[in-house]
Structure 1
Amino acid sequence: MSAVFMALPLAALAGVFVFYALRPGLPSAESRVAAILIPASQLAIVAFLAAAVLFYSLPVPLAAAVACAGIACAATDLALVRVLRAAEGRKLARERTRIAAERLEAQRACRERTEREARAARDERRTLAETLRRMEWLLGAAQGEQALACSHAASDALGGERRICGHPAVDALLALKRRACEEAGVRVVFAVELPTEAAIPDIDVCAACSNMLDNALQAARAAAGDMRFIEFRARLDGGYLVIDARNGCAAPPAAPDGGALQRERRASTEPAEGESDAIVPEHGWGLVILQDLAQRYRGSFEAGASKGVWRTTVALENRPVAR
């Protein structure tokens, strides 16, 4: 009878352990490890107590008590993992909210810049019209040198802010990130070739760009001397949006287990639940979102360090997906 009582909690805890080991359903490595270690530790304790009960032929009521405690642990483990999943869902929601707020700020900056450029264009048209009238008068008065000088002055007066790319939302976002890099003393170079519109929704394109630049800026800010740099490139290539960021770093970002993450990480081309995990503690949720984007858009996500330079590459299939 004692053996039957002991088999029940052991089977329940073993089932919980196997279930979360094979299908964790949690995005971060820390929570996945917790979801596995909690039932594993309880399984070890119950197994020890079961061995003691059987070896010493302890009374059946004591065996029943151990069995009830083990089954209760298995039930609470299921509830605990649901709580962990809900907590991580809230963290991801906060990160997506932050990205949406940043996109709104970028759109506001884009609108202000558009209005500023429109006013500047009106002023330039007036200046150009006045200059042309003056040049016409100078040429009529046979004052060629003054007319030439007047044309040079008009050329210098014409201008405006240079756009980083043709995509309005991304252009405004990159302008904000460039300002942040300048304030942090980090050199940044953009080579972005994006059309005015892409099949991928603006919110996802901005999420990828924002998180990659946030991570790059954090690492480059901690680097020294010439390593305080960021090179950011984005383009459409063969039906994919390819975004690549290189930046200096003081040391390779640490993996959740404390080791340096030197290996490349590639998202599966087929979406799979629970395959994402955090790499950098402060921005781990940003990298989880990058991996999630790569999975949803049947693309890839790679990150790795070499000779003090950290590189992150995300490829997204240029197509809309159901959210």
Structure 2
Amino acid sequence: MKPRSRILMTLFFLSELLMLAASAILVHRQAQAQPVILALFVLCLFLGLALVRSMMTGLQRNAARQAQEKLRDMEIEQLAALVGARQDVDSLRSTLTASCRIPEDLEEEIPSLYVSRCANPVVDAILFRKSREMKEQNIPCRLRASLPEKLDLDPAILLSLFSNLLDNAAQAAVQCPIHCRYVVLEAILHRNCLICTCENSVTEKAALTPGVSSRGTPGHGHGLQILEDLCRSHGGQLSGSVAEGRCRLQATLWIGDRS
């Protein structure tokens, strides 16, 4: 807890004690007690509001710092992959020449190949991390984001948006048989609107209920609630559907004016 919050909390409890003491001492002197108790009550209320505001500010700063640290870890991991990839250009050229075609997924045919998915470095780092996680879970994925290098959006917002979309998709897809698993993500910027569409395989009993998982227990669905709140706070919305073994979510966020 920050020093300012500690001071406010101490003053708040002291004012509470003073109000209780004044009430006990002046219990038989109502005319004199009322102004004193009222003044102490107003003081308690003011200190309480100041304390809540200080603690909320501290929580927001901590959340932003944790998001920055997580993004930094992702960027370091991405940089390490770039440095250690050892892409064999001659091997790739001979593969393309021999097959006379461009492989649909170069990463599958050449695992050491690093592929950038987005010009925006923050989003690219997030997609790189999530693609690695899905490979470990045997979930084929295709993640593409046609976004500019610079976006007027807090990196913490981008982290929350793409992480929750892909984490929810992966958690649902991993419950399917291996041969049925997949996750596809497309993100574009249309004028000032960021549009993210995510599709993934699901089991027959899957459902979209914010706050509740497809298995009827809290957990997986909380990501949907976070996404819904995030979209709403930026003037957008989260829409989705589940049908025929697939789930499709579309999240929209407005960046700046809607004009």
User: Normalised by the shorter chain, which TM-score bucket?
Assistant: 0.5 to 0.7
> 1:109 matched to which residue of 2?
77
For 1:206 and 1:317, the matched residues in 2 are separated by 16
Higher helix share: 1
Is 1:305 matched up with 2:251? no
Alignment identity in percent?
22
> 1:282 matched to which residue of 2?
219
> 1:80 matched to which residue of 2?
none
Is 1:230 matched up with 2:188? no
Q: Given that residues 110 and 169 in structure 1 are in contact (C-alpha distance below 8 angstroms), is that contact kept between their aligned partners in structure 2?
A: no
TM-score, normalised on structure 1?
0.48
2:204 pairs with one of 248, 251, 260? 251
Which amino acid counterpart does residue 170 of structure 1 have in structure 2? V
Q: Given that residues 200 and 319 in structure 1 are in contact (C-alpha distance below 8 angstroms), is that contact kept between their aligned partners in structure 2?
A: no
SS at structure 1 position matched to 2:174? helix
> 1:314 matched to which residue of 2?
251
Which amino acid counterpart does residue 119 of structure 2 have in structure 1? G
Which amino acid counterpart does residue 80 of structure 2 have in structure 1? E
Paired residues, what number?
Answer: 178
RMSD, matched Cα: 3.4
Q: Which moved more, 1:100-109 or 1:296-305?
A: 100-109
Which amino acid counterpart does residue 252 of structure 2 have in structure 1? A
Q: Given that residues 64 and 156 in structure 2 are in contact (C-alpha distance below 8 angstroms), is that contact kept between their aligned partners in structure 1?
A: no
How far residue 285 of structure 1 moved from its aligned partner, in angstroms, is 2.9
Q: Which protein is bigger by CA-based radius of gyration?
A: 1
> 2:194 matched to which residue of 1?
241
Q: Given that residues 234 and 241 in structure 1 are in contact (C-alpha distance below 8 angstroms), is that contact kept between their aligned partners in structure 2?
A: yes
SS at structure 1 position matched to 2:115? coil
For 2:247 and 2:76, the matched residues in 1 are separated by 31
Which amino acid counterpart does residue 306 of structure 1 have in structure 2? A
Structure 2 residues without counterparts, runs of 5 or longer: 1-55, 95-111
- 1:96–1:223 distance in 2 versus 1, CA, 3 Å: farther
For 2:134 and 2:163, the matched residues in 1 are separated by 13
> 1:215 matched to which residue of 2?
168
How far residue 96 of structure 1 moved from its aligned partner, in angstroms, is 7.8
2:230 pairs with one of 261, 285, 293? 293
1:166 pairs with one of 119, 124, 135? 119
For 1:183 and 1:222, the matched residues in 2 are separated by 14
Which amino acid counterpart does residue 237 of structure 2 have in structure 1? S
SS at structure 2 position matched to 1:222? coil
- 1:302–1:98 distance in 2 versus 1, CA, 3 Å: farther
How far residue 154 of structure 1 moved from its aligned partner, in angstroms, is 11
Which amino acid counterpart does residue 283 of structure 1 have in structure 2? H
Larger RCO, structure (CA 8 Å, separation 6 or more): 1
For 2:164 and 2:144, the matched residues in 1 are separated by 17
Could you list the per-position Cα deviations for residues 208-240 of structure 1 after superposition, in whole angstroms to 9, with x for gaps in the alignment? 110010010011000124420001111111321
How far residue 184 of structure 1 moved from its aligned partner, in angstroms, is 0.6
- 1:207–1:246 distance in 2 versus 1, CA, 3 Å: same
Which amino acid counterpart does residue 286 of structure 1 have in structure 2? G
TM-score, normalised on structure 2?
0.58
Q: Given that residues 110 and 168 in structure 1 are in contact (C-alpha distance below 8 angstroms), is that contact kept between their aligned partners in structure 2?
A: no
